[in-house]
Chain A
Amino acid sequence: MTPLWLAVVIAAVGSYLLKLAGMSLPESILNHPKVQRVAEFLPIAMLSALVAVELFDGGGRYQVDWHILAGVAAAIVALLLRRGFLVVFLVAIAVTALLRLVT
């Protein structure tokens, strides 16, 4: 087994075990109101962090691709107009691709 294969297997199985670990916590811990609040807030904090990192992280340093930023800004407009998920997705990639084409 090459190091790359070993890494693929460890990372893939490890990721699954992390998912399983989260689901296997004892019910008594989960019933605590503060834990429930933390659980409710966690995806919000992390999805928000993912958006920020996708937009401004250029591999360990701050970097902005204005085409992507404009695409995401257009997606926000679509969200404000209460458009569906697919419209938001298409607006973001279309605006980004078009801006790349013309600039």
Chain B
Amino acid sequence: MEEPLPDRATILRAAIGIGLYAGAFGASFGAISVGSGLTLAQTIVLSLVMFTGASQFAFVGVMAGGGSPFAAVAASLLLAVRNAFYGVALSEILHPRGLARLWTAHFVIDETTGMAVSQASPRARRYAFWATGIILFFLWQLGSLSGALVGRAINPSAVGLDAAAPAVFLALLWPSLRRRDARWVALGGAAMALALVPLTPPGVPVVAAAVAALVAGLRPTRQGTQIEDPRPT
């Protein structure tokens, strides 16, 4: 018998909100992608198979900036490393077994992780992961396809879409910041990334922010010290 899930509608509303953002974000990705020399087919393959927005943006960003295709691979894979870490957190929540792992893994991205970890109960976390993942996947495809088709006609910065990514990442981060230790980790991650911006290739600063989580997670805790409850009561 599973516990009731009173916040189902709330989660679904949030997932649709994220999906709508993904459609708009995907449209700007599609437009930028064809604008930086990728074909419609290459743009579609990135959205379908890579399916992780920041890496896709990094890939076409390097191409647009005149980088080699393999610099684009490195930048996007470096950014995608964080999804492996998200997978660690999500295995705890989803417990995928056998073949289920193959398709569950495809949906491991910032938005599904952020939505899953910010829910109060195990069941709500699983529901949030799948609701967000499935809605976002379809709207992301639809968005990036239309964006690529409209192509150069869209000017993402004129409609303020370049502010969407940081605002969205912040909104995903927000619920976790109720915790004091999480606020320190967030500060540490941001500081680590910013310090590396002039020193490393694109993508590396974000990956290096993992060090802040490693340091905070592995540091010795005092005897009898309880980890603060992350969930609102």
Contact = CB atoms under 8 A, between A and B. Distances in A.
A, B assembled together: yes
Contact of B105 (A20, A38, A50, A88): A20
Contact of B205 (A34, A49, A89, A95): A49
A30 B90 CA distance: 11
Nearest to A15: B80
A41 B91 CA distance: 15
Contact of B206 (A18, A35, A50, A86): A50
A83 to B, nearest CB: 9
Interface in A47-103: 47-57, 59-62, 65, 67-68, 71-72, 75-76, 79, 84-86, 88-89, 91-98, 100
A96 B104 CA distance: 36
A11 B73 contact: yes
Interface residues of B, number: 105
Interface string B106-146: 10101001100100000000000000000000000000000
B147 interface: no
Given A23-B105, A75-B170, A100 B160 contact: yes
A5 B166 contact: no
B36 to A, nearest CB: 10
A41 B213 contact: yes
Nearest to A89: B21
Contacts of A5: 42
Given A4-B38, A46-B206, A72 B166 contact: yes
B6 interface: no
B164 A39 contact: no
Interface of A: 3-16, 18-25, 27, 30, 34-57, 59-62, 65, 67-68, 71-72, 75-76, 79, 84-86, 88-89, 91-98, 100
Given A19-B52, A51-B173, A61-B198, 16 more contacts: A3-B68, A9-B45, A12-B46, A21-B87, A23-B91, A39-B88, A45-B210, A48-B193, A52-B191, A62-B197, A71-B163, A72-B167, A76-B170, A85-B168, A86-B21, A88-B168
